[in-house]
Structure formats: structure tokens, C-alpha cells
Structure 1
Amino acid sequence: MSNPTTPPTDKLDWQNIGFQYRDINGYAKYTWTPENGWDEGSLETNPYLNVHMCSTGLNYGQECFEGLKAFRTKDGRIRVFRPHENGKRMNLTAAFGSMPGIPEEIFLEAIKKTVQANLEYVPPYGSGGSLYLRPLLFGSGPMIGLSPAPEFTFIVFGVPVGNYYKDGVKPVDACIIEDFDRSAPLGTGSFKLGGNYAPVFLPTEKAKKQGFPITLHLDSKTHTYVDEFSTSNFVALSNKDGVTTLVTPNGRTILRSVTRISLVEIARDLGWTVEERDVPFSEIEEGKFDEIAACGTAAVITPVKRISRGEKSYNIGSGEQTEIGAGFEALYKQYKAIQNGDIADTKGWMWPAEGF
């Protein structure tokens, strides 16, 4: 095992590295064929892949990915947050997309290889940064017919990223996308297929130019229920008669966000009520929620202070908040404390327990 005390490199300005790709030491790569299954894998350094022009990944979008993070914790260990959950989700997506499943031992081994090869690129404790890990599975063999590829490639690469909220967690405005449906009722919305993401580039870029950093989708059948934000899951809090309730959609079209399921567990630990159910947009119109947020790997929680739909705008709380609300702040602090090793990991979410 590599030295777990390997310090962060001094070649990066850890307070200003942002969220962008940069080459580091290497990445894990595995190849699958029907005859041999998955090979033993290798550590590669060339970021350019030799892929056939007729591969199903390029021609038909036979591809899926995951996103998770490694942290340098308070006691000096380097550990990854809930990789087993990402492995489970990738296999669900792979099965739906006619791709070979990745055994848990290979998924974890690939993460281990990549992290150990890049220990100096795990940001310092206290910087708010992490080593973002991207598992990627795609059809790399040639197939011109509408059939699965004869070869698949699985890689895990890493990118050091900074604190998403360098200047503190700030609530933002959101808008409803009305002219594009993220997912059909029996479609691919609950799977992390690459093809689900490219179509939202255009509407989200348009929304950003109009002053909306994030965008929200409604169900495609009736446009009356909350689906997801373009980049992450929807969560909301209400406080009534001293009871805090976390509400979140969890239907057939919703991606099973590891961040969301973790926040749900923390909310239950705090003694809150949790409702995983259909969420009519009318509940937002009627002001039933005290706090609303998007939740995902990159930012954990992005509070929303106002949601616009066409010419109408709906305030969440006062609609003028400049700081995260008390409810989501409690969840956020607990979540980050586990990742950073500031409190005991009683749930066994940080892997491996002993660190790299």
C-alpha cells in the first residue's frame, strides 16, 4: 500500500483550483470481451483512448458514468465516500444499457488504483476540496448494427477539485424548463446514461444567460409534478408544529442520487420525518416548503430561494435569503463532517476505513 501520509502537492493553488479537468498521474483501465470477461486491468497515463470509430459508445451512446469523491480527513487518512453505492448504481445502468456489469471487487480495485496513484492530488484537509473520481463504462468495440459492442472499456480517472462553495453556501434562483422533458415515464431518467445529459446543455445555458444558475424539470406526462433539477435531485424541508419534514421525489424517473439517500439517512438520524413521494408543483405554488435545494455530488446542497415558471415567480421562504437555511445547514454540516473525518463514521460510509 502507498504511504498514507503522502502530502498534497505544492504545485497547485489548493484554494483556487475550481472544478475543471487537469492531467494527473494516471487512471485505472479494464477491458471486457465475451470470451474472457474483464481483464486484470492496468494503470494508464495517456489521457487519450484508442477507440474504434465504429464503437457503440461513439455511435449509439452505449455509455454510462458515475461521480464520487476521495477526501483527506482530519486524522490524515484518505478515504472515498460510499463507493459501494456508486458501484451498485453503475451496474443498474449497465444492465439497462446492455453493458456488462462490473463486479464490486473490480469497481473498488479500480478506485483504489486511481487514488493510490494520485495521493498527492487529494486536496488538504480543511481546504474544502476533494479528488473527484469518474468511473466510465462504454462500448469500445466496433458494431454497425443496433447491437451491443463486442468489447467494453471501464476506466476510473480522477480530478482534484476545490471547494464548490469557496465563499459560503449561497441560495440561488431557479427556473422551470417547459420546452424540454428530462425523462419519459418509462424512460431512462433513473439511469446515469451519458445520453441523458447532453440534451440539457442548451436549455440550461439559455437559463443561465437569463440569470438562473439551476433549472428544474417537471414530469413529462402532465407537467404537474416535480421531477429533478437538470444536474441533481430535488429536496425540500417544511417545519410545522415543531416537526421538521424532508420531502423528496423518489419515482420511476428519478436518479437514485447517493447524496440524496445519504441526506435522507442523516435526516432520520436527526429525528426528522422523511417523505419520499410524488411532489405536486402546486405545493411550491402554495408555499408549503420553508426550504428547497438541489443535492448532488459536486455541491452536496444548493439552496434555492426562488423558482420561476414562465412569467410567475414563487418565493421559497422570503425569497431574499443570502445564507443557507437552518435545516439544510444542519444536514450539510453533518454530511461534510463525516466526509472530512470531523466526526466518527458510525455508518461505515468512508472507504476503506483504514484509509489509503
Structure 2
Amino acid sequence: MSKNVNIDWGNLGFNYIKTDLRYVSTWKDGNWDNGNLVEDNKLAISEASTALHYGQQCFEGLKAYRTKENKIQLFRPDQNSKRLNNSCKRLLMPEVPEEKFIDACKQVVKANEHFVPPYGTGATLYLRPMVIGVGDNMGVKPAPEYIFCVFCVPVGPYFKGKMAPVNFMIADYDRAAPQGTGAQKVGGNYAASLYPHLLAVKRGFADCIYLDPATHTKIEEVGAANFFGITKDNKFITPKSPSILPSITKYSLLYIAKEYLKMDVEERDVLIDNISEFKEAGACGTAAVITAIGGIEYKENLHVFHSETEVGPITKKLYDTLCGIQIGEVEAPEGWIYEV
């Protein structure tokens, strides 16, 4: 690390910390400019920007990890690029070429290398790429200009010390509409989740679980994360639906469960009335990696999986294997790791 930064790496939360440089590129007249690193963490945009009025914006989240050998690596940024472009296509925004996306992420990590937490602290450098519609616009139509930006923030481990399970309740609200933007990482999905989340927290739960918007019979997402369950005969199951955000962590776990743990895996409907088929359950995503689910409250009954206090052995093994790959201690599948 080339510079000293006054950060208590062991006590980092998931909060904003201004780092030195971020990448900004502008799309205008049909093309992206070359982009550059800037010090200013404020974006100056038109008051009539579509991002502010019509929700024409999307974002991503990925992390940079420091290895025992002091190398820095990104985990599957090509998949984040693909997902960002899927969101852009859905909202009629220009796609960001994969090479440009990965290069921007690498530039930001290199420029803020001293903010990449040391190996062994459990902390990482979180990257937030985003595309927003900007420029003078009043009608409900695509923006005349766009900004692609990548900034970074050092963040701590989601779990402090013990990877303790947490409980969830079933939401009465929908996260996304059928045939809507549930499969895209767009801000509106998260805005819609703030109120149900508040209600869940007020009742003592970590968050709420959303059922499919059409029938309210199938589990779709756990707060802002994807659901998985381990059946009593050791199958790794995760919901399949056009309304679910395709989590890169989830698809990584599907591969790890099959290829590393030699489990049967399946993407299929997960009926809320059948949750007793699972002996373990969890939520997965970039920020949390894996959150073990202790129990789910449904129809005023709390269904407990493995335990409300201890993480199940298969969930723990999945967590350890994935984290090991990310920090370079478990051999990664080909193409998963990009060295910075």
C-alpha cells in the first residue's frame, strides 16, 4: 500500500467513505468518451435529467480483494458488466462495452490501492459502477446524454465475528411487477423495498422475503438478496423467476455446490408452503456474501431451519469456499479472477 490511510480496518461497516479518485465517462451523440479519473465526488447534472424524474438509471456492485501475497483481484467483473448492460438495454440506455467496464474498475482500484483493506481483516474494497440518464429533458423518453461512473468504498465484513443466522418475515408488498424490472439492477426496485424493510425491522426481523408478484405463493428474493435452500437430501435449490435479479454470487454458489461440494443443484419454484423441505436456508449477494437464515415467519408461525443461533454446516462450507476463491486461497474456476 503506497499511502497511509487512517482507517480501523477491523471495525469497518458498510458506510460511505470518500476515496481519492473515481472514473467518469460521458455518452453523447452516439458514443462514449474515453473517460477519466477525477477527484470530485460530486456529479453536476441538469435538473431535468431523466435519472432524477423517470428513474432512468442502473448500478452494479462488486469487490476487490487483497490476497496473502498482497495481490489485488476482482471477482467475475465480466458478469457485472453483462448484468449492467442487461439493465441498460431494459431502460433504453447505451450499453457500456465490457472492455471499458473492466478497465474502469481496474483504474479505480489502482488509483485507490491504499484503500484496499489488508489481507486477513475480512474487509474489502466495494466498487459501485452506475449509468444515469442526464441532460435537458422534459418528456418521458430516453435521455440525450448519459454518465457512466465507477467509485469505490472500503467496507467491512457483513458479519462481525460470528456468522450468526437472522430471521425474516414474509412481505405483504411486492418488490417488482410481473414482466417488470425485477431482473434488472435499477434503483426503483430498491426504493420500493424501503418501506417493507422498515416494517420488518420494526417487528424485529432482519428484512422481509418477497413472494412472486403474480400468485404470492413462491419465494423470490430475500430483501435485496437471492434465496437458496439446502434440502434434507442435500440438494442446493434456488428460485427461478423472471422477476429475480440474477445474482452473480448465487450463480457462483450454484457452481461451487455442484463442482466443489458435489451436490445436486436446481433452479426451480420454491413454494412458501413447502419451506419445510429445507434443512438450511440462506440469502446471498455481493455485500453479504451469504447470510444464514435462522427462520422465516409465515402466517404468524416462525419456521426455523437449522438453528436460530448456529450456521448450518453446508451453508458454512459454501461461504468458506466462495470466500477462499475470492481471496486467492481456494483455486478458482477458469476466468473468475481478474488481477488488478
The TM-score with structure 1 as length reference comes to 0.93
| Residue number among 281, 299, 307 corresponding to 2:296 in the alignment | 307
Give the structure 2 partner of residue 265 of structure 1: 255
One-letter identity of the residue aligned with 2:304: N
Give the structure 2 partner of residue 25 of structure 1: 20
One-letter identity of the residue aligned with 2:331: A
Give the structure 2 partner of residue 82 of structure 1: 76
State whether residues 166 and 206 of structure 2, in contact with CA within 8 Å, keep that contact through their aligned partners in structure 1: yes
One-letter identity of the residue aligned with 1:80: L
Give the structure 1 partner of residue 10 of structure 2: 15
Structure 1 window deviating more from structure 2 (159-168 vs 144-153): it is: 159-168
| Residue number among 324, 327, 340 corresponding to 1:340 in the alignment | 327
Structure 1 residues 17 and 300: CA distance shift in structure 2, 3 A? same
Deviations 1:8-28 (A, max 9, x none): 734100011211001111100
The CA distance in 1 between the partners of 2:134 and 2:330, in whole Å, is 43
Matches within 5 A, 1:98-247: 98-178=92-172, 180-240=173-233, 244-247=234-237
Q: CA deviation at 1:7?
A: 5.4
Q: CA deviation at 1:45?
A: 1.0
Pairwise CA RMSD: 1.2
The CA distance in 1 between the partners of 2:100 and 2:82, in whole Å, is 12
One-letter identity of the residue aligned with 2:317: A
Deviations 1:192-227 (A, max 9, x none): 111110111111012112110121011111111111
Unpaired runs of at least 5, structure 1: 1-5
State whether residues 8 and 124 of structure 1, in contact with CA within 8 Å, keep that contact through their aligned partners in structure 2: no
The CA distance in 1 between the partners of 2:60 and 2:266, in whole Å, is 26
The CA distance in 2 between the partners of 1:272 and 1:349, in whole Å, is 21
Q: CA deviation at 1:342?
A: 1.1
Deviations 1:97-135 (A, max 9, x none): 000000011101110111011000000100001000000
Structure 1 residues 10 and 40: CA distance shift in structure 2, 3 A? closer
1:350 is the counterpart of 2:301: no
The CA distance in 2 between the partners of 1:92 and 1:186, in whole Å, is 15
Matched length: 339
One-letter identity of the residue aligned with 1:326: P
State whether residues 78 and 98 of structure 2, in contact with CA within 8 Å, keep that contact through their aligned partners in structure 1: yes
Give the structure 2 partner of residue 255 of structure 1: 245
1:73 is the counterpart of 2:64: no
State whether residues 234 and 292 of structure 1, in contact with CA within 8 Å, keep that contact through their aligned partners in structure 2: yes
| Residue number among 52, 57, 64 corresponding to 1:63 in the alignment | 57
The CA distance in 2 between the partners of 1:266 and 1:8, in whole Å, is 36
1:274 is the counterpart of 2:261: no
Structure 1 residues 171 and 7: CA distance shift in structure 2, 3 A? farther
State whether residues 8 and 123 of structure 1, in contact with CA within 8 Å, keep that contact through their aligned partners in structure 2: no
Structure 1 residues 231 and 8: CA distance shift in structure 2, 3 A? farther
The CA distance in 1 between the partners of 2:132 and 2:119, in whole Å, is 34
One-letter identity of the residue aligned with 1:312: N
Aligned-residue sequence identity (percent) comes to 43
Matches within 5 A, 1:33-52: 33-35=28-30, 37-52=31-46
SS at match of 1:234: strand
SS at match of 1:184: coil
One-letter identity of the residue aligned with 1:331: L
Unpaired runs of at least 5, structure 2: none
The CA distance in 1 between the partners of 2:36 and 2:319, in whole Å, is 37
